[in-house]
Amino acid sequence: MKENSKKEKIIIIDFGSQVTKLIARRVRELGVFSEVLTLKDLKRIKDFNKIKGIILSGGPATVTVKNFPNIPSRIFLLNIPILGICYGLQLIAINFGGKVKSGRKRREFGRAILLKKNSSLLTKNFYKTNKNYVWMSHQDIVYKLPKYFKKIASTKESPYTIIENKFKKIYGIQFHPEVTHTKNGKILIKNFLFKICKMKKNWKITSEKERIIKNIKNKVKNNKVVCALSGGVDSSVVALLINKAIKKNLVCIMVDTGLMRKNEFKLTYQLFKKKYKLNVKLINASKIFYKKLTNIINPERKRKIIGNLFIKIFEKESKKIKNVKYLAQGTLYPDIIESRSATGSKSSKIKSHHNVGGLPKKMNLKLIEPLREFFKDEVRQLGKSVGLSREIIKKHPFPGPGLAIRIIGKITPEKIKILQEADNIFINELIKDKLYEKIWQAYTALLPVKTVGVMGDSRTYEYICLIRAVKSEDGMTADYFNFSKEFLDKISNKIINGVIGVNRVVYDITSKPPSTIELE
């Protein structure tokens, strides 16, 4: 990743921990610009002028073997404050003559009690008494303190849980201050940024808006940009930002797959065309999508068919527009972090995102990704600052393949209609009862079985509608939402009475893991 060399910042060297991106989040929440870089990126940096602090993340590697990912020793001579977290602490220890061993018996996963041993700038205001609860995830431990370092805190199993070399401004923490399970963890990061690195607050998402717009203007000049607009938060923010930068040279293409929620496509089209006055081309492709999905049951095949068809149609339509040079995408920062390997090892590479937005490279268009430095909640704030309506900003995530992966088994236009009606009732009731914004994602799905019921005096034989609602921070893990019995009663009643084709409603009470949020 190209690092931004113009701004004072903290850099985070990613050794492949699953929670590295949380470090970046915490730093930005504290009002300081930060970037996550790989070791390779670090080795390429020539000018360290704007780098005011370096954080070394955790990771799956161990320093107890011959070849381990290490930072170049010159970095320790730059006089830039360094904070090592977990593997980062072990790296610091080994580089300064400490000793680390694999501690199978002494490994710590989950909550541990941290005991204060000495005072430090890093731990100012961190403890209430002389102990604190922290979140651990490690197998190796530092068992010999490196020379000129001081022990600041320990747990029962790891004697050197926090260490410091005050003179060199190098600090190490064995636990994870970036996760919320560590009580007051953010205070440690805050102390590192402001007391040790002496950073000033320089990051506010809304002040980034003008910079993004200027960058787009400079990059695109008088060329044309195409953008696939779905009406979700990301593509909507991308379209509005680009529109602010280049106005008439942006063409948004909306491909109606017929797999969206009730009226969603129509409303999005009207909003962007009439309210925001964007140049939007609407392509009705539902017939071809239905046709290609006939008799397809396998979820992965459904996803592939939809993804490929979407790309084909988008490509065909954008070829009709003259002088297009750029393709705009709503790639977010977590997508960038997750889809590249931190250390070059295969083990730390997380699955690439399964997003229909992943448009083809062979289109020969250059990419613009105005959101590639931002997290989802930052994108929502950006959306607010470009005047995006609250309904879109607060919209639950919706998967690229749409309702196709919420109709389990074969897809038919009749089933889509049933599902759209049920979903519409469910979502409207959530909004009415002020529950919608308390939930990460809610939807209805149609199960591929019919069961017997009785309505009036007649026997019915109809589909089962499943409702799902989960709480989550990032979609990686999720807990099912605890509705009141009254709400469940109301929903069941409204769906059965309002939707022809459904005679049974069930609530999915599984969390992720072991289930996923979507059913397919």
Residue 40 or residue 354: which is nearer to ligand XMP going by CB? 354
C-alpha–C-alpha distance, residues 33 and 208, integer Å: 11
Shortest Cβ 142–ligand XMP spacing (Å): 37
| Min separation Cβ 292 and ligand XMP, Å | 16
Q: Minimum CB separation from ligand XMP for residue 233, in Å?
A: 11
Residue 319 neighbours by CB under 8 Å, 6+ apart: none
Which residues sit opposite 36 in a β-bridge? 12
Of 164-172, 308-316, 364-372, 509-517, which part binds ligand XMP (CB under 6 A)?
Answer: 509-517
Please tell me the distance from the alpha carbon of residue 368 to that of residue 158, in angstroms, as a whole number: 47
Under the binding rule (CB under 6 A), the answer on residue 354 touching ligand XMP is yes
Beta bridge partners of 113: 133
Q: Measuring CA to CA, which residue among 71, 307, 81, 97 is closest to residue 197?
A: 81
Binding status of residue 397 toward ligand XMP by CB under 6 A = yes
Q: Measured between alpha carbons, how far is 435 from 429 in angstroms, rounded to an integer?
A: 8
454-483: which residues touch ligand XMP (CB under 6 A)?
475
Q: Is 355 in the site for ligand XMP (CB under 6 A)?
A: yes
- Give the count of beta carbons closer than 10 Å to the beta carbon of residue 172: 29
Here the tokens at position 196 are: 């040790």
Least separation in angstroms between residue 352's CB and ligand XMP is: 11
Site string for ligand XMP, 435-454 (x = CB under 6 A): ------x-------------
116 is an interface residue for ligand XMP by CB under 6 A: no
Choosing from 14, 318, 401, 425, the residue that interacts with ligand XMP (CB under 6 A) is 401
**At its nearest, how many Å lie between ligand XMP and the CB of residue 261?**
13
- Backbone phi, then psi, for 59, in 5-degree steps? 180, 170
Nearer to ligand XMP, 8 or 508 (CB): 508
- Whether the upstream peptide bond of residue 401 has omega within 30° of 0, thus cis, is no
Kindly tell me which of 185 and 258 has the beta carbon lying closer to ligand XMP.
Answer: 258
In whole angstroms, the minimum distance from the beta carbon of 485 to ligand XMP comes to 27
Using CB under 6 A, pick the residue from 399, 423, 446, 466 that binds ligand XMP.
399
Tell me the closest approach of the beta carbon of residue 270 to ligand XMP, in angstroms: 23
The verdict on 404 binding ligand XMP (CB under 6 A) reads: no
Q: Exactly one of 310, 400, 436, 463 binds ligand XMP (CB under 6 A); which one?
A: 400
How would you list the strands of the sheet with 366-368, edge to edge? 280-284, 250-256, 224-228, 324-328, 366-368
3 state SS of 117: coil
Closest distance to ligand XMP from the beta carbon of 400 (Å)? 3
Q: Does residue 125 come out as left (phi exceeding 0), alpha (psi in the -120 to 50 range) or beta?
A: left
What residues contact residue 22 under an 8 Å CB cut-off, 6+ apart?
Answer: 178, 179
- Does position 512 bind ligand XMP by CB under 6 A? yes
Where does this chain touch ligand XMP (CB under 6 A) — which range of 60-68, 175-183, 256-264, 393-401?
A: 393-401
By CB under 6 A, tell whether 60 contacts ligand XMP. no
Q: Which is nearer to ligand XMP, 45 or 336 (CB)?
A: 336
CA distance 418 to 446: 8
Tell me which residues in 284-343 interact with ligand XMP (CB under 6 A). Answer: 303
Q: Would you please indicate which residues are annotated as catalytic (active-site) residues?
A: 86, 176, 178
Written in H, E and C, the secondary structure of 307-368 is HHHHHHHHHHHHHCCCCEEEEECCCCHHHHHHCCCCCCCCCCCCCCCCCCCCCCHHHCCEEE
DSSP state of 401: T
d(CA 422, CA 386): 33
Q: Is 518 a residue that touches ligand XMP (CB under 6 A)?
A: yes
Candidates 85-93, 212-220, 239-247, 512-520; binding stretch for ligand XMP (CB under 6 A): 512-520
* Residues near ligand XMP (CB under 6 A): 303, 354-356, 397, 399-401, 441, 475, 512, 516-518
